[in-house]
């Protein structure tokens, strides 16, 4: 199985540049310092699986010419990861069917609450509502999305249990500051690991860069790429701090992985 990962957004919740900020990263002319809200698209044999509908979803779909989405996997319900939900209705229109959404039951419930109008809460339905089928999943139990096997990986985002996802030998773990011991066996033999590394200083719900490097060493993927990057991290300057097999993700980056493990 060949899996291609396209980075739609590598930034933290406020995006980079941050509104009104004059720091080196926010004023950088390097396109790698320009980060939309966090999301990736995984493609396997022509099936497109999106992870999260970020607040920049519409812009991301236009920028990268994504004309089909077969399934959406949600990591958790924070707004930077679900904010683009309403624009899924364009894919309802293009594909003439409801969108298939996967996530923890708690995450799906929060989406129903946040976008209440799309789930029976609208006074009139003539305005074009997104249509979705929700599929609750459980950490550590493989499911199929668009016919592709997906492993949900339990991780901790502060006190909130959320999910990362593994498809083939690529894993995407964002918004976390701890990996439960039971999740490490699900991360063996990875070709590519995408991992949260918010900033240099410690944070109560995200890995700092130092913590992320340590977790990445323990997981031991062939290649690790850091995401959910705040403006405190400058791509070129801070890349010098990283071990050889680790790097910062940037928007538009494309990574292909061949599956080796069974
Ligand atoms: Zn986030
Ligand atoms: Zn800044
Ligand atoms: Zn979050």
Task: Tell me the pLDDT of the chain (262 aa) as tens digits.
Answer: 899 999 999 999 999 999 999 999 999 999 999 999 999 999 999 999 999 999 999 999 999 999 999 999 999 999 999 999 999 999 999 999 999 999 999 999 999 999 999 998 887 777 689 999 999 999 999 999 999 999 999 999 999 999 999 999 999 999 999 999 999 999 999 999 999 999 999 999 999 999 999 999 999 999 999 999 999 999 999 999 999 999 999 999 999 998 765 5
Rounded to the nearest angstrom, the distance between the alpha carbon of 228 and the centre of ligand 1 is 7
- Find the ligand nearest to 34 CA: 2
Pair 169, 151: CB distance under 8 Å? no
Determine if the pTM surpasses 0.75.
yes
Rounded to the nearest angstrom, the distance between the alpha carbon of 238 and the centre of ligand 2 is 15
In a domain, 239, yes or no: yes
Phi/psi at 100 (nearest 5 deg)?
Answer: -95, 120
Give one DSSP letter per residue of 102-138, joined into a string: EE-HHHHHHHHHHTGGGGTT-S-STT----EEEEE--
pLDDT (0 to 100) of residue 259: 73
Rounded to the nearest angstrom, the distance between the alpha carbon of 156 and the centre of ligand 1 is 13
In a domain, 87, yes or no: yes
In a domain, 138, yes or no: yes
In a domain, 261, yes or no: no
In a domain, 260, yes or no: no
Coil, strand or helix at 161: strand
**Helix, strand, coil in percent for the chain, rounding step 5:** 25, 30, 45
Neighbours of ion ligand 1 (CB under 5 A): 13, 78, 80, 175
Could you count the other beta carbons within 10 Å of the beta carbon of residue 127? 9
Rounded to the nearest angstrom, the distance between the alpha carbon of 12 and the centre of ligand 3 is 9
Rounded to the nearest angstrom, the distance between the alpha carbon of 253 and the centre of ligand 1 is 19
Rounded to the nearest angstrom, the distance between the alpha carbon of 125 and the centre of ligand 3 is 31
pLDDT (0 to 100) of residue 24: 97
113 burial (CB, 10 Å; 0-12 / 13-18 / 19+) is exposed
Rounded to the nearest angstrom, the distance between the alpha carbon of 243 and the centre of ligand 1 is 25
- Any idea what the CATH number is for the domain that residue 192 is in? 3.60.15.10
| Number of domains the chain is built from | 1
In a domain, 137, yes or no: yes
Rounded to the nearest angstrom, the distance between the alpha carbon of 18 and the centre of ligand 3 is 17
In a domain, 262, yes or no: no
In a domain, 136, yes or no: yes
- Segments forming the whole domain that contains residue 93: 2-254
Give the helix/strand (H/E) hosting 215: helix 209-219
């Amino acid at each position: 199985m060949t899996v291609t990962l396209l980075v739609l957004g590598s930034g933290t919740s406020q995006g980079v540049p941050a509104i009104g900020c004059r720091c080196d990263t926010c004023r950088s002319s390097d396109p790698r310092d320009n980060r939309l809200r966090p999301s990736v698209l995984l493609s396997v044999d022509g099936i497109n699986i999106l992870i999260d509908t970020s607040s920049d979803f519409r812009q991301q779909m236009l920028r990268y010419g994504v004309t089909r989405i077969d399934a959406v996997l949600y990591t958790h319900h924070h707004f930077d990861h679900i904010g683009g939900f309403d624009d899924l209705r364009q894919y309802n229109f293009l594909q003439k069917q409801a969108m298939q959404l996967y996530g923890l039951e708690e995450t799906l419930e929060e989406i129903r609450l946040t976008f209440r109008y799309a789930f029976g809460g609208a006074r009139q339905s003539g305005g074009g509502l997104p249509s979705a089928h929700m599929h609750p999943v459980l950490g550590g139990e493989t499911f199929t999305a668009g016919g592709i096997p997906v492993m949900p990986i339990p991780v901790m985002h502060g006190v909130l249990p959320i999910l990362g996802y593994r498809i083939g030998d690529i894993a995407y773990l964002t918004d976390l500051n701890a990996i439960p011991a039971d999740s490490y066996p699900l991360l063996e033999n990875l070709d590519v690991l995408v991992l949260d590394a918010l900033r240099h200083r410690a944070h109560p719900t995200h890995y700092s860069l130092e913590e992320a490097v340590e977790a990445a060493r323990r997981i031991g993927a062939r290649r690790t790429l850091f995401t959910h990057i705040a403006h405190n991290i400058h791509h070129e300057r801070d890349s010098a701090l990283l071990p050889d097999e680790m790097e910062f993700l940037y928007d538009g980056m494309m990574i292909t992985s061949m599956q080796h493990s069974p």
